[in-house]
Amino acid sequence: MNYFVHESSYIDENVHIGPDSKVWHFCHIQSGARVGTNCSFGQNVNIGNNVIIGNGVKIQNNVSVYEGVEIEDYVFCGPSMVFTNDLTPRSNYPKGVEGYKKTLVKHGASIGANATIVCGNTIGRFAMIASGAVVTTDVPDYALMIGVPAKQKGWVCECGFVLKEDLNCLDCQREYTLSNGQLKLFAVDTK
């Protein structure tokens, strides 16, 4: 094995875990799951059947990633944040995998502690979801989302710094442009 799994965790059959990944205490990775390289799963993480997780993903304590959720590279999932996969669940009328709504979390996005991501939505590249926010719609790339339901309150840089009105990052010197409601990387100052 070229990855670490704590002895208290369970890994089902037909699971792929990439090199240098770490699965800590009391986790369960279910059949068909695919986990990339250099990922870290905190205590009590559940990865559902057939879930795909990219490289460099960090999932903090008490997070369940249900079937129907896909997580791209370098995503951060804060403690006790919640994914859903069924918009109208009923205990007595289970829909099964055909009824799950797909959720995609794109490259570099961060989801804060106790946030909820309602299924059927896409979280854009490098988006930042505030702690406790409830996401009920698609989220643009680089968007800062706050509240219940979550509303866009600004933009964030790839490095995580909240951008001011001029859309220049005071921390890493990246510059962005806004066109048709989409934020795009314009330049990186290499001085």
> Distance between CA 112 and CA 81 in Å, rounded?
7
Whose CA is closest to 123, among 48, 71, 176, 80?
Answer: 71
Q: How many domains does the chain have?
A: 1
> pLDDT for 119-147, tens place per residue?
999 999 999 999 999 999 999 999 999 99
- Is residue 21 in a domain? yes
> pLDDT for 36-70, tens place per residue?
999 999 999 999 999 999 999 999 999 999 999 99
- Is residue 25 in a domain? yes
Task: Please name the residue that has the structure tokens 């951008």.
Answer: 163
Q: Which DSSP helix (H) or strand (E) runs through 177?
A: strand 174-179
- Is residue 19 in a domain? yes
Q: Confidence class of residue 1 from pLDDT cuts 50, 70 and 90?
A: confident
> Distance between CA 82 and CA 59 in Å, rounded?
11
CATH code, domain carrying 61: 2.160.10.10
Domain carrying residue 155: 4-165
- Is residue 176 in a domain? no
φ, ψ of residue 51 to 5 degrees: the values are -75, 140
> pTM for this one?
0.96
- Is residue 173 in a domain? no
